[in-house]
Amino acid sequence: MSQIEEARQLVAADDRKDFDFANRGFIATRADPVIKRADGRVAYDLSSYRFLETEAPETANPSLWRQARILTQHGLFKVAERIYQVRGFDVSTVSFIDAGAGWIVVDPLTTTEVARAALDLLFEHVARKPVLAVIYSHSHVDHYGGVGGVTTAAAVAAGTVKVIAPEGFLENAISENIIAGPAMLRRARFQFGHTLACCAEGEITSGLGPRPSRGTLSLIAPTDVITRTGQEMTIGDVTMVFQLTPGTEAPAEMNFYLPEHRAVFMAENANLTMHNLLPARGALVRDAKAWADYLTESIRLFAHKSDVMFAAHGIPRFGGDEIVAFLRSHRDAYKFLHDQTVRLMNTGLTAMEIAETLRLPDVLSKQWFNRGYYGTMSHNSKAIYQRYLGWYDANPANLNPLPPEPAAKKYVAAMGGAEAVKALASVSEADGDLRWAATLLNHVVFADETNAAAREQLAAIYTLLGFESEAGTWRNIYLTGAQELRTGPARLPSAGFSPDVLAAATTPMMLDFAAVRVNPDKAAERAFTINIELTDRGERHLITVENGVLVHEAGVADPNANITVRLSWPDLLATLLEGVAVEPCVASGSIMIEGDAALYSALTDLIEPLTANFPIVTP
């Protein structure tokens, strides 16, 4: 049975329970569907997914279409007495808990504009009361970036608003995407379909939620840190009991329980889809065993005494038996995935062989929330293999293979030239073997990226693969690949960081980011030491350039350093990481240098500019 036919049969047999849960408690949505930024540009358009109101067309997998219809229902919902959510305003969901004297805001979305719109909707239809606390359930930007839309740094500093987060939140929120941030952001365009039109032939969600909003990112550092499972906190008249779950969906993450409301919040540990153990955008590999074990702990601690479960994505679930069954099934999917990948790994199968072999049992796979809309069995089993054994499959032929471009030229030559390979790809397409057709044509493109016919043929194959994909991420990746083959990468600006993130970042974090941008050829020609004194942070750092590397030490000053540079944190960022010239800053007095000022300019010259639009589907 084909993937599409299986999906059609599943959708036809749907009991519509998820649609009931998605609609339950609906109060209202915005009258104006367009949420704008201060500069007039659109942060989010709630009408983007109206095309989903029809039945699934030939250009979409029916199962993904069903999932998208659930995920894009937008508005304010009453989840339980004194618990509300605004869904469909962003890739994530914001929750509001009535604490009597004010509101507790849980996971305030990605950007300030949509977070403010959600809070205004709550004020309009429930009650206008002050925000008493903000909870960040974990360290991903779609769960904290909108905090500036629901409170202010001044209110937090004054002590009128608490910001609560799991241990390790701030370090991971700032650092996770800095070191490899440019590459991650480039790859994220494929995962989320950022450059695709939102339509039946383009992006129809990522499978986890609607598309991310495009507004203003913010960050306010936590005032209260949760350090252990079982830790309790009372805000207003609401008591929360926390469960730490580090290393699951995020390096720092937590669930919590509301005993007075018999409600459990599962952060991003239990979703309406199988999640990623290794996102296509890139990240540290997550621990499937720990994920399953923490879900077991959640069941034991909270499930049997809960009447409602809500989370940071997707929809709530209602009823004690439903919650227990859901968490057990979701737990078992991750446990099966982990245990059976390791079993097959220990029989000698490679990551690619395991991915081709492993399937969830029907009792698990036919549950909508275990299907691969965002993460997939294929990618997740490879991630588990990578976590334990790394990228190498132990076959000497794969120990030191040729890189893609020279290998492609040799493959194409061995198969009789580009025309012969294109003809073979056409035969494979006619036979329904789109994966092999894509492999063949990828070799032609990497052998000669100017072959326009091959690029178009491969783009057409990628489009077909995207249309049949059940995973929203796979669809977006294939369709973005097709788009870039036809028109090239969109010329988007280089990776940047919001002022809030830069203000919260530690100096060593940003010096690490500078170190991974050093041009080694330039650095190999120089050897010097520089004392850095940050006048506004009261910090000292010693930077050493030697043997082609940049080394930095915090709290150290070398009396024998070549120069000493006194400057503010913004001036350090501007000159070291943003390409601002040093000489005018020295002339204005904002940077003071003892010694040869040319050495600081030499340091900044070592740092390469960011490349935002490097090729992916071509050499």
Residue pair 160/129 in contact (Cβ under 8 Å)? The answer is: no
Give percent helix, percent strand, percent coil of the chain, each to the nearest 5. 45, 15, 40
Structure confidence by residue, pLDDT tens digits, 279-308: 999 999 999 999 999 999 999 999 999 999
pLDDT above 70: residue 613: yes
Residues 315-334 have a mean pLDDT of 98
pLDDT value of residue 504:
86
pLDDT value of residue 1:
67
pLDDT value of residue 574:
94
H helix or E strand, kind and range, residue 572 = helix 569-577
Residues 119-135 have a mean pLDDT of 98
Which tokens sit at 157?
């500093």
pLDDT above 90: residue 405: yes
How many C-beta atoms lie closer than 10 Å to residue 445's C-beta?
24
Residues 175-186 have a mean pLDDT of 87
How many C-beta atoms lie closer than 10 Å to residue 11's C-beta?
17
pLDDT value of residue 3:
84
pLDDT above 80: residue 578: yes
Residues 16-34 have a mean pLDDT of 98
Encode 453-471: b = buried (16+ Cβ within 10 Å), e = exposed.
ebbebbbbbbbbbbbbbbb
Structure confidence by residue, pLDDT tens digits, 431-476: 999 999 999 999 999 999 999 999 999 999 999 999 999 999 999 9
CA angle 586, 588, 592 (to 5 degrees): 40
Q: Which residue, among 280, 137, 314, 279, has the nearest Cα to 208 in the 3D structure?
A: 314
Amino acid at 237: D
| Average pLDDT score, the chain | 96
pLDDT above 70: residue 180: yes
Q: Which residue, among 392, 283, 270, 290, has the nearest Cα to 337 in the 3D structure?
A: 290
Structure confidence by residue, pLDDT tens digits, 224-279: 999 999 999 999 999 999 999 999 999 999 999 999 999 999 999 999 999 999 99
What share of the chain has pLDDT > 90, as a percent? 95
* Reported confidence tier of residue 207, pLDDT bands at 50, 70, 90: very high
pLDDT value of residue 503:
85
Q: Which domains does the chain have, with CATH numbers?
A: 3-351 (3.60.15.30), 402-468 (1.25.40.880), 506-606 (3.30.1050.10)
* Reported confidence tier of residue 198, pLDDT bands at 50, 70, 90: very high
pLDDT above 70: residue 495: no
Q: Which residue, among 192, 77, 195, has the nearest Cα to 142 in the 3D structure?
A: 192
Widest pairwise Cα distance in the chain: 77
